[in-house]
Amino acid sequence: MSRVFWVRHGPTHAKTIVGWSDLPADLSDTARIARLDRHLPDEALLVSSDLRRAVQTADAIGGARQRLGAERDLREIHFGEWEMRDFGEGDDLDHQMAFWERPGDVRAPGGETWNEVKVRVDRAIERLLRANPGRDLIAVAHLGVILTQVQRALDVSAYEAFGQKIDNLSVTELHRREGRWHAAAINHCP
C-alpha cells in the first residue's frame, strides 16, 4: 500500500485568482503548524511544489524528514491571463464561468485545462512512488493539485471534485491498494 499525505500550503491572503504566481505563505500560526507536523508520519518522504508558498510550508513541517527536491509538476493550475485578476474581471466572464462550471477541457487563455493539470499531477505522483517504493509521501501543494487527486481517489467528475473543501494547512490522506486510490481523509485539519 502507498500513502500520500497531501498538505495544502499556508495561506497567501490573496483575494485574486492565484496559480503560478510565486506568493509567500503566511506561516504565523505556529501552533497549527506544530499540530500539522505532529499529525504527519515522521518516516515519510517530503516533497513540495516549487512555488514559494509550498516550499515554505514544507520547510515549516520538515523537521528530520527526508526531503525530496521541489517538483514543478506539483504546481497549481496555470491560469494564464486570469492570473492575479479578480474573478469576473475582464470581458470574458462566460469563459471564466465555463472553466469552473464545466471543468475539463476549458482552457484559461494562455494557461492550462483541468485535464492537463490532472495528467501532469498523476504522472508526477506515479513517478515519485516508483522512485521510492514502499515509502509514504507528504506532498505540499495547492488546492487544484490536491483536488485532481481527490477526483482520482473518489472516481468522480472534475465538477464533483470541485465541491470538496480543502483548507490551507489541511491534510488529505490518500491510499493506493492493489492499483486503486482511496480517500482515507479529505481536508483533515489537525
Please tell me the predicted confidence (pLDDT) of residue 120. Answer: 98
The candidate with the shortest Cα–Cα distance to 159, out of 122, 106, 112, is 106
Residues (pLDDT < 50) of the chain are none
Please tell me the predicted confidence (pLDDT) of residue 93. Answer: 83
Please tell me the predicted confidence (pLDDT) of residue 89. Answer: 74
The domains found in the chain, sorted by start residue, are 2-78+113-188 (3.40.50.1240)
The candidate with the shortest Cα–Cα distance to 36, out of 1, 65, 13, 14, is 65
DSSP 40-94: S-TTSEEEEBSSHHHHHHHHHHHTTSPBPPPBGGGPPP--GGGTTPPTT-SS-HH
The answer to whether the beta carbons of residues 172 and 166 sit under 8 Å apart is yes
As a whole number of angstroms, the longest Cα–Cα distance in the chain is 50
pLDDT, tens digit (0-9, with 9 covering 90-100), for 170-186: 999 999 999 899 999 99
Please tell me the predicted confidence (pLDDT) of residue 91. Answer: 75
The grid coordinates of residue 128 equal: 515519485
The candidate with the shortest Cα–Cα distance to 66, out of 74, 77, 58, 78, is 58
CA-derived radius of gyration, the chain: 16
Q: How far apart are CA 143 and CA 164, in angstroms?
A: 10
pLDDT, tens digit (0-9, with 9 covering 90-100), for 48-83: 999 999 999 999 999 999 999 899 999 999 999 988
Please tell me the predicted confidence (pLDDT) of residue 98. Answer: 84
Please tell me the predicted confidence (pLDDT) of residue 86. Answer: 82
Residues contacting 81, CB < 8 A, separation 6+ = 90, 108, 109, 110, 111
Residues contacting 155, CB < 8 A, separation 6+ = none
